[in-house]
Amino acid sequence: MNDNAAPISAGERITNLDTVRGVATLGILVMNAVSFGLPGPAYFNIDYAGSDTWPAQAVGILGELFIDQKTMALFSLLFGAGIVVFADRAEQKGRRPLLLSVWRNLLLFGIGLVHVAFWEGDVLMLYALCSPVLLLLRKRSARTLFIAGGICITISALWMAVTQAAIDPSTDLGDYWLNESVSMSDAVGLAFIVDFGGRGLGMMLIGVGLFRADIVQGLRPAAFYRRLALIGLGIGLPLSIAGVAIHAASDWSGDVALIGAVPNILATAPMAVGYMALITLWNQRPDTWLHERFRAVGRMALTNYLVQTALGLLILRGVFGFGTLGRDEILLFIVGVWMAQLAWSRPWLSFFRFGPFEWLWRVATYRQLQPIRR
């Protein structure tokens, strides 16, 4: 095997990235499980379905406050950093980083195409489509990358606000908010795409900036991450609360469906960065078995992400039936999957170098067989 395609050694791994990615991988299931088990509007409108009891309502509101879009943002942040890690290491090994990275992300797009055939909520295709932008900007200063990411997220929020003013909520919101049997209008669909893409690309650019500033690697002192967590959550949490309050005060009316999402959109970046800082503080503490479990989940993020979808479709749609469970019951499924993935990822990596889908992706990237057994 060509040494340029060899797996990185344990000493070369950035454990903080693995730990943060592990938390993000488990966290994103909280978002995705809603669309596995409930009708489309319930993903955005907590009052639409799955909230018939007060425990289910509490799960929905807490998820909206602390998890919704924040864990995807954390996942996106890590993807941006991962683009830099891969390209930089390819360059150090004498490979052509742009060409190899583009090919690698074209393969990721293909994985996403297969994934979206089973479930409409795939995020891999978005990441692959954004990767050329990240590759072109990856050597810019952290400040430039933070500004670019912030602009993307701001455009997303403004687009939502403008769209709310331009639509007739009773006829345009459809399966975005009001009725799973009626398609949302083109204007609402475009706002959704701009929001999905804008937040995703924005957080990836911020992730590249955090890597260039030696922040996401966990290299700064603990006091720095404590301040960062306080600032991020201090800005983001009040915004997230405001978004839920707007929707709840209007009894989840379509009149504020999009404008009520604006505070939560703006909360995404600071809360994700705050979470990253908290996880980093934990990662800086002496290693425990739990650190190793989360890092293993992060090292197998692609495999665990795809397995979450398979289990969600099989159990929440196949076994129980689509739309039959409440949010509190779906939470039990989420916890069960968390326990399973924390349990199996570490033993798998004791015998194998990669998760199964990571290995297949690596083989296709380098177009040569890679060792998988340790």
pTM for this entry:
0.93
Question: What pLDDT is recorded for position 8?
Answer: 47
Contacts by 53-61, CB closer than 8 A, 24 or more apart: 53/326, 53/328, 55/326, 55/328, 56/326, 56/327, 56/328, 56/329, 57/327, 58/328, 59/327, 59/328, 59/330, 59/331, 60/327, 61/244, 61/248
Region 226-233 average pLDDT: 98
Instruction: Evaluate if residue 245 carries a pLDDT over 70.
Output: yes
Region 74-102 average pLDDT: 91
Instruction: Evaluate if residue 322 carries a pLDDT over 80.
Output: yes
Instruction: Evaluate if residue 143 carries a pLDDT over 80.
Output: yes
Share of the chain above pLDDT 90, in %: 92
Instruction: Evaluate if residue 11 carries a pLDDT over 60.
Output: no
Question: What pLDDT is recorded for position 125?
Answer: 97
Question: What pLDDT is recorded for position 2?
Answer: 46
Residues, the chain: 374
CA–CA dist 31, 238 (Å, integer) = 20
What average pLDDT is seen over the chain? 94
Is the Cβ–Cβ distance between 210 and 140 less than 8 Å? no
Instruction: Evaluate if residue 253 carries a pLDDT over 50.
Output: yes
